[in-house]
Amino acid sequence: MTELAELTASRLVDGYRKGEFSPVEAVRAALERAGHAQRTVNAFVRLDAEEALVRARASEERWRRGEPSGPVDGVPVTVKDVLLMKGGPTLRGSRTVSPEGAWDEDAPSVARLRERGAVFLGRTTTPEFGWKGVTDSPLTGVTRNPYDTSRTAGGSSGGAAAAVALGAGPLALGTDGGGSVRIPASFCGTFGLKPTYGRVPHHPAGPFGTLAHVGPLTRDAADAALLLDVISGPDSRDWSALPPAPGSYADALGGGVRGLRVAYSPSLGGQVAVRPVVAAAVRRAVECLAGLGAYVTETDPDLTEPVEAFHALWFGGAARVVQSLGPHQRELLDPGLREIAAIGARLTALDHLAALDVRAGLGRRTGRFHETYDVLVTPTLPITAFEAGVEVPRGSGHHRWTGWTPFTYPFNMTQQPAATVPVGLDGDGLPIGMQLVAARHRDDLVLRVAHTLYEAGMAGVERPRRV
Does 207 have pLDDT greater than 90? no
Does 206 have pLDDT greater than 90? no
Instruction: Kindly state the average pLDDT of the residues 153-179.
Output: 98
All residues at 6 or more sequence positions from 33 whose CB lies less than 8 Å from its CB, including other chains? 2, 5, 166, 167, 168, 169
Contact 409, 303 (CB under 8 A): no
* Tens-digit pLDDT profile for residues 379-399: 999 999 999 999 999 999 999
List residues bridging with 136 in a β-sheet.
142
* Tens-digit pLDDT profile for residues 9-44: 999 999 999 999 999 999 999 999 999 999 999 999
Mean pLDDT value across the chain: 97
Q: How confident is the model at residue 305 (pLDDT cuts 50, 70, 90)?
A: confident
Give the percent of the chain with pLDDT over 90. Answer: 97
**b (16+ CB within 10 A) / e for 219-258:** bbbbbbbbbbbbbbbbbeebeebbeebeeebbebbeebbe
Give the per-residue pLDDT at 141.
Answer: 98
Give the per-residue pLDDT at 466.
Answer: 58
Which amino acid, residue 13? Answer: V
Give the per-residue pLDDT at 68.
Answer: 98
88-92 CB contacts, 8 Å cutoff, 24+ apart: 88/46, 88/48, 88/123, 90/123, 91/45, 91/139, 92/126, 92/128, 92/129, 92/130
Does 133 have pLDDT greater than 60? yes
Does 1 have pLDDT greater than 70? no
The residue among 408, 370, 417 whose CA lies nearest residue 272 is 408
* Tens-digit pLDDT profile for residues 401-414: 999 999 999 999 99
Instruction: Kindly state the average pLDDT of the residues 69-95.
Output: 98
Which of the residues are catalytic?
A: 80, 156, 180
Does 279 have pLDDT greater than 70? yes
CA R_g for the chain: 20
- What pTM does this model have? 0.98
**Which CATH number among 1.20.1560.10, 3.40.640.10, 3.90.1300.10, 3.30.420.40 corresponds to the domain 2-97+104-235+252-455?**
3.90.1300.10
Does 233 have pLDDT greater than 90? no
